[in-house]
């Protein structure tokens, strides 16, 4: 993965994986990265050997890798988490003072999160909310389920673009339960494309939207959504030290960008949806897994 701006280079010798992770914002107190898909943000509670972003960052700092040495970094801690498959804005503190303030702010629901999700179906309303309690699924470790006995969970959704049987949503979690957006969308009947856990791995195929699509002999069609089509798009928060308002945006990942390009070309929208500047105010989040 190449990028023209500053990057953090990480590698996992155990798996042979390599990442060039774009830096979205940085000062003496904060580092904001664009998390890639299919990389844990924190250690897996069920498999500690799986590569995760925080362990890779810490190992690189201890090893004195150039990007860490040049910045004088000797401390990094994540202020929130993102799911294994989710891409986008990932906020880290460079010192304990900043971390404590960020942890309190996230716990109080001060930062505003905006996600993008490409989902199956067409919601009847341009704006809707899902207010359903969530809890760990005792029969499937690592999964969540809706239940009357769970923790309060609320997400607001807004239609950004409508296509034939496909919709692009902005998602504004008020609470921050694990997998909240994914489970709430499944509950609403609009699973996210590429969701292997809650969407039965539904995929968007070019052959399903392009008239007269033909595959070359011997070739295999790749899905337009090989990974979870959920992206942590924007994060707004007060700077933990200066209190200045910070807004960081992560570029839409390539797979989702290509899928949207083909949808706009071949799957004409039934109606446009709500413009970005309208609809409900982006809601407050506690900053846990999505």
For residues 154 and 62, what is the distance between their CA atoms, to the nearest angstrom?
40
**Cα 9–Cα 12–Cα 14 angle in degrees, nearest 5:** 165
In Å, what is the CA distance from 69 to each residue of 12, 21, 28, 53, 211?
A: 19, 17, 14, 18, 53
Q: Is 83 a catalytic residue?
A: yes
In Å, what is the CA distance from 86 to each residue of 8, 107, 182, 185?
A: 18, 21, 11, 15
Under a CB-based contact definition with an 8 Å cutoff, are residues 209 and 240 in contact?
Answer: no
Strand partners, 52: 40
For residues 156 and 112, what is the distance between their CA atoms, to the nearest angstrom?
12
Q: Which of 17, 27, 47, 83 is catalytic?
A: 83
Catalytic residues: 83
């Amino acid at each position: 993965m190449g990028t023209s701006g500053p990057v953090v280079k990480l590698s996992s010798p155990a798996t042979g994986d390599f990442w060039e992770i774009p830096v979205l914002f940085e000062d003496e107190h904060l580092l904001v990265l664009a998390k890639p898909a299919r990389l844990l943000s924190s250690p897996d509670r069920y498999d500690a050997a799986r590569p995760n972003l925080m362990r890779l960052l810490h190992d690189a700092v201890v090893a004195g890798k150039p990007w860490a040495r040049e910045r004088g970094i000797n401390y990094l801690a994540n202020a929130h988490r993102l799911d294994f498959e989710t891409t986008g804005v990932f906020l880290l503190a460079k010192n304990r003072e900043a971390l404590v303030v960020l942890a309190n702010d996230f716990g109080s629901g001060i930062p505003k999160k905006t996600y993008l999700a490409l989902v199956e179906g067409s919601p009847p309303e341009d704006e809707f909310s899902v207010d359903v309690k969530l809890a760990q699924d005792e029969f499937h470790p690592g999964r969540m389920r809706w239940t009357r006995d769970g923790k309060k969970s609320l997400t607001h959704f807004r239609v950004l673009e409508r296509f034939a049987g496909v919709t692009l949503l902005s998602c504004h979690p008020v609470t921050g339960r694990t997998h909240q957006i994914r489970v709430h969308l499944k509950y609403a009947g609009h699973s996210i494309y590429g969701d292997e856990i809650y969407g039965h791995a539904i995929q968007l195929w070019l052959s399903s939207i392009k008239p007269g699509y033909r595959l070359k002999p011997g070739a295999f069609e790749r899905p337009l959504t090989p990974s979870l089509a959920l992206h942590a798009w924007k994060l707004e928060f007060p700077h933990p030290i200066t209190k200045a308002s910070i807004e960081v945006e992560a570029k839409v990942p390539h797979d989702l960008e290509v899928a949207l390009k083909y949808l706009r070309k071949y799957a004409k929208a039934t109606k446009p949806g709500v413009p970005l500047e309208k609809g409900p105010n982006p809601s407050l989040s506690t900053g846990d897994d999505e």
